[in-house]
Amino acid sequence: MDWFGRAHIAFTHSPSPLTLQRRDGTSTDLLKVAEASTPPCQLNPLLFNGHLQTMWTAVKEHGPPIHYRRRVFDADHPTYHGTFTVDFAVDPHHDTDASLPPRTAHFSEEAFAGIGSDDSRPMLLVLHGLSGGSHEIYLRHAIAPLVMDGGNWDVCVVNARGCAQSKVTSGVLFNARATWDFRQVVKWARQTFPNRPLFGLGFSLGANILTNYVGEEGEGCLLKGAVAVGNPFDLEVSNKALQRTLLGKQVYSRVMGTNMKKLINTHKDAVSKYTNLDYDRIQKVTFLHEFDREVQTVTWGYPTENAYYRDASSSDAVLGIRIPFLAISALDDPIAVYDAIPFQEFTQNPYTVLLTTSLGGHLSWFEVGGGRWHPRPICNFLNTMATEINLDAIKPTANGSPHKTQFVTEFDPVRRKLKVLGR
């Protein structure tokens, strides 16, 4: 039982966690790094359950003043064409642009042309939650210790198409498994900063995308580590849970559906020009699953929203991960619900550790005084990996089933298919 906001912390992991070599020549493992990175979780006792924690996010506070420079990228994929934006955390500036979020201004062509570097500073690539962007307070809290007050990291946020006041320039919108823009930025970062260790961080929907990306890349992943926070994992389970309760449907699903509808309204002209979506039908949407029915199924060809949820879920992708991976979830999260967390998958993959707290809500973890707990395990884990661990000594292995079977088989965790190779 949790007393006065003191959350219980637990770790789900493989019986044989990934062995890691420290730079000083000693050995440790992924679980020990995760445990050492995780401080006690003492939250505001007045926000004593996931609903109160989550709803407290509506209380506006300024958050850390992260400044950004934006770059518009042209997608290099022939199918997923169009543009998307990336916001780079930079030193404070006084440039203003009313068309962009606060403290954000565009890079000049000259400045961006010279952005490349041979330095070995760690670099973090971030994905935000549904309909959010680089301006989100939970995100700025998480990256502030890495870039402010002597932090040595370079950080950039990949905005979902149309989010954070970015433009929609094609019929390719974003969805819960839209890994293509993030993949392009990872490849660009590897070419532009060849000596930097690259890491990933995702929140909520962005955590689902990040998990899918890392699982898809497998042993070829260019990231050296990743953290997924508040991942809904199994989207069908999460969405059915939202529809099952009064608060889930009438508060959370309604708010998310309304936010997505506002996003479409913001880009009405582009949506009408580049897509075959029925704008009038979208105006009748109330809940998130209704939005997905009217937008995601039409855009991508899914027969139902549940087919979309099953395809976009990242729970099986956990099995394909071959880099050090930490997931952080609150068991009382009313949006990324307990029943959707793939506990067994984490026990099967030594490259992964799941950190759960009994309290915290959805991307909340509010402490007394308004601070948040989640930046500390995130930054501790990332700093340890970047400064203490010999990243070059990590040798990913190919995928394989841990169980002996009657046939020679192979399970593809990304496509969720079992292939019979022979007898």
CA distances from 2 to 49, 357, 359 (A): 10, 10, 8
Q: Report pTM.
A: 0.95
Which residues does 191 contact at the CB level (< 8 Å), separation at least 6? none
Task: State both tokens at 75.
Answer: 């997608």
DSSP per-residue string spanning 220-283: G---SEEEEES---SHHHHHHHHHHSHHIIIIIIHHHHHHHHHHHHHTHHHHHHH----HHHHT
Catalytic residue among 204, 238, 253, 313: 204
Lowest-confidence region among 76-80, 309-313, 375-379: 76-80
- Please state the rounded mean pLDDT for residues 72-89: 96
Check residue 418 and give its pLDDT. 60
Assign a CATH topology to domain 6-234+313-397.
Answer: Rossmann fold (3.40.50)
362 catalytic residue (yes or no) = yes
Residue 305 pLDDT class (50, 70, 90 cuts)? very high
333 catalytic residue (yes or no) = yes
- Please state the rounded mean pLDDT for residues 48-64: 92
Q: Write out pLDDT tens, residues 362-415.
A: 999 999 988 999 999 999 999 999 999 999 999 887 654 445 555 566 778 887
Q: Write out pLDDT tens, residues 175-233.
A: 999 999 999 999 999 999 999 999 999 999 999 999 999 999 999 999 999 999 999 99
Burial class (CB in 10 A: 0-12, 13-18, 19+), 369: exposed
SS3 content of the chain, % helix, strand, coil (to 5): 35, 20, 45
CA distance 2 to 48: 9
CA distance 385 to 148: 19
Q: Tell me which long-range contacts 61-67 makes (C-beta under 8 A, separation of at least 24).
A: 61/137, 61/370, 63/137, 63/140, 63/141, 64/140, 64/141, 64/144, 64/148, 65/92, 65/103, 66/103, 66/134, 66/140, 66/143, 66/144, 66/147, 66/148, 67/91, 67/92, 67/93, 67/103, 67/104
- Residues of the chain with pLDDT > 70, as a percent, come to 96
**CA quadruple 122, 127, 129, 132: dihedral, nearest 10:** 100
> Which among 302, 303, 301, 299 is positioned nearest to 271, based on CA atoms?
299
Catalytic residue among 181, 316, 332, 333: 333
Domain ranges of the chain: 6-234+313-397
pLDDT score of 158 more than 90? yes
| Cross-strand partners of 73 | 84
Catalytic residue among 181, 362, 364, 374: 362
Check residue 400 and give its pLDDT. 47
Check residue 249 and give its pLDDT. 97
Pairing of strands 123-127, 154-158: parallel
Check residue 423 and give its pLDDT. 46
Dihedral angle sign, alpha carbons of residues 249, 55, 161, 284? positive
